Amino acid sequence: MNSFAKIPDEILEHIAFFAATDTFLGPPAPVTALLIANRRAHNALSIDSNPHLWARIFTHKFDTAAVERRLGEGRVCAVAIAHELRRRCIVLKQIRSHQDTHNQTGGLTLEPTQQESLQVSLWTAYLMMLENDGKNERQLRNYAHLDEWLREFLFHKAGASLMRANIAEGHWPPSEERMSLAIWLFWFLLRPDDYVVDDDMFLEATNLLKVVALGAHQYSLGRPTWRDFRPPYYLKESTLIDPYSRRLQFVPPSPGAPAILAYLTLVNKLSISWDTINYLKPSAPIPPSTVFGIKSSEWDAEWTRGLYLSKVGRPLASEYSGAFIPGSLEGVWEGLFTYTEFTTYAALLSGAAPSTLEQGRVAQHPHYWRLREHHLLVGDDGPLGSAFPVTNGANGAMGTCTRGTNGVYTNGTTGRVPEQLPLSPGDPLRAYIPQSTEVRECPLGLEIKEPGRKEPVWYRSWGGAGVTGRGWDARGVRDVFITGEGHSAWGQFNLVGRVRPCDGCISLYKEYIDGDRGRWLYRGYLVGNAHGNLSGRWRDTLSPAEVLGYEGCFIMSRRT
């Protein structure tokens, strides 16, 4: 012991670090023996006296790139990182022991202490997955077995999510923060093959996810309401989180988008499903856990959305928040849309229990989209170059866009450079596009004429001909306009829409070319970035926007 006491502090610190990191998974338990060896060792190695040691241990066991990118490089101190390590180790051990998975009261409520414990565990795990570059998921899956914890929490008859308990009583499970975070984590960690081999678990999972995915009248895709293109105020329903000792207001994610993705992933894993009618075999979404080398940048928009929407008490600005990454919609997409029998959905809107939806059949159709992004940029004064052909997005008529010798942008006549202000917020049932707006598409972008404006507005195409160095700074984007076309078993259609600046909500107006299939509104979110999936719901455009309409869900993945 006398020899141990003579070891210099810096050598003792090296011993502690290698002992703590000898095993990657789980808390650094081997350091405990050093901490209790004697008072000198404790004073040299404890979190309070040597936070830099524990910050080094943290960087070995957990991902840090997203933290530096989002909170600022060098702005998170060693003390904060050390205390974050302590918190995560506690949460990982609680999840590993399956703490809080079951309801302790047996009713439809949880004890306050269990609610608080679940709040900490679920938020910690959710933020870890938003920061995941590989290490975080290994800790959550391989050490804590979070995927097993989630199965019990969400799908067990006594699960603390209270989903099965509520449905058994004929109630719709409340759209609570805990349930939403758990469904997001379920999607992050989903490996479909784990459920296909267990018929009972597959049935329970798809049943409950179906209720959230298709219950559009109960479970929203996001907040604020989709009816407002520029919501007047930030959301008040935010949660105080404190990652790395930074007190932040964060709007909890809504459960609709991941529930749709998880449900359709599972039901389309089987060639024949018990509750769906597949007219053609559609492509299924791509779960993040099945993508090799996925990075935390995949979830930057999710992080930004939750943070941006929580700034209480101030009007939402018109500039883009960063919850949508320019260029992420450009390209070819394939996926499916679903619908239930109209009588079944009418019963739901009239107050039917969730069992009505559980027992209902769901039809699926594959569909394919080709989308183009067009951006209104700060300081952009119109197209470059001489005359080139344009196509009228409304009726296909051809015209010419010309930039004159004096820099004036015209369309066959002379005039001033148009004032580059975004389009006004339009009818939400028409994807926020004002009525009677004329859209002319050319190789470099769009010329858009809004009623009541003297001059057209120029939107530059992300994939425009002759454009070099695409990928302009998102901070220079003022508005995003979408055009495209697609086809399904119902026929060919055109797509046009906009992206809501505050939260990246994508709204597309779908009109079939033959005219006898009606007009539909598709709205949703891109969940992920480079490997992301579009997830959302369609609805009819005949019902007023403020009234619940006939809805179904859809997913799209990039076509490779």
Beta pairing class for 276-278 and 362-377: parallel
Residue 129: count other Cβ atoms within 10 Å of its Cβ.
22
> Higher confidence at residue 341 or residue 42?
341
Residue in 545, 109, 112, 66 with CA at minimum distance from that of residue 303? 66
pLDDT in tens, 51-99: 999 999 999 999 999 999 999 888 899 999 999 999 999 999 999 999 9
> Higher confidence at residue 369 or residue 75?
369
Q: What is the pLDDT of residue 280?
A: 55
Residue 239 pLDDT more than 60? yes
Beta-carbon contacts of residue 327 (< 8 Å; ≥ 6 apart): 373, 462, 470, 471
Residue 406 pLDDT more than 80? no
Answer whether residue 11 is part of any domain: yes
Q: What is the pLDDT of residue 407?
A: 32
- Give the confidence band of 314 by pLDDT, cuts at 50, 70, 90: low
Answer whether residue 178 is part of any domain: no
CA pair distance 169, 140, nearest whole angstrom: 33
Answer whether residue 513 is part of any domain: no
Q: What is the pLDDT of residue 380?
A: 67
Task: Answer for the pair 349, 217: CB distance below 8 angstroms, yes or no.
Answer: yes
Residue 349 pLDDT more than 50? yes
Residue 203 pLDDT more than 80? yes
Answer whether residue 266 is part of any domain: no
- Supply 258's token pair: 């991941």
Answer whether residue 70 is part of any domain: no
Instruction: Determine whether 489 is exposed, middle or buried from the number of CB atoms within 10 Å of its CB (0-12, 13-18, 19+).
Output: exposed
Q: What is the pLDDT of residue 271?
A: 57
Q: What percent of the chain has pLDDT over 90?
A: 58
**Distances 330 to 334, 396, 558 between C-alpha atoms, Å:** 13, 21, 10
Range of the domain at 8: 3-60
Q: What is the pLDDT of residue 39?
A: 80
**Region 528-537: what's the mean pLDDT?**
94
Answer whether residue 475 is part of any domain: no
pLDDT in tens, 6-22: 777 788 888 889 988 99
**Region 22-39: what's the mean pLDDT?**
85
- Give the confidence band of 381 by pLDDT, cuts at 50, 70, 90: low
CA pair distance 389, 228, nearest whole angstrom: 35
Q: What is the pLDDT of residue 382?
A: 60
Residue 540 pLDDT more than 60? yes
Q: What is the pLDDT of residue 178?
A: 95
Residue 286 pLDDT more than 90? no
- Give the confidence band of 417 by pLDDT, cuts at 50, 70, 90: very low
CA pair distance 507, 428, nearest whole angstrom: 8
- Give the confidence band of 410 by pLDDT, cuts at 50, 70, 90: very low
Answer whether residue 166 is part of any domain: no
Answer whether residue 370 is part of any domain: no
- Supply 383's token pair: 């197209």
**Region 401-407: what's the mean pLDDT?**
35
Grouping H, G, I as helix, E, B as strand and the rest as coil, residue 396 is coil
Q: What is the pLDDT of residue 173?
A: 94
Q: What is the pLDDT of residue 443?
A: 82
> Higher confidence at residue 506 or residue 396?
506
- Supply 267's token pair: 């039901």
Number of domains in the chain: 1
Residue 455 pLDDT more than 70? yes
Average confidence score pLDDT of the chain = 85
CA pair distance 140, 189, nearest whole angstrom: 9
Residue 224 half-sphere exposure toward CB, CA atoms < 13 A: 20
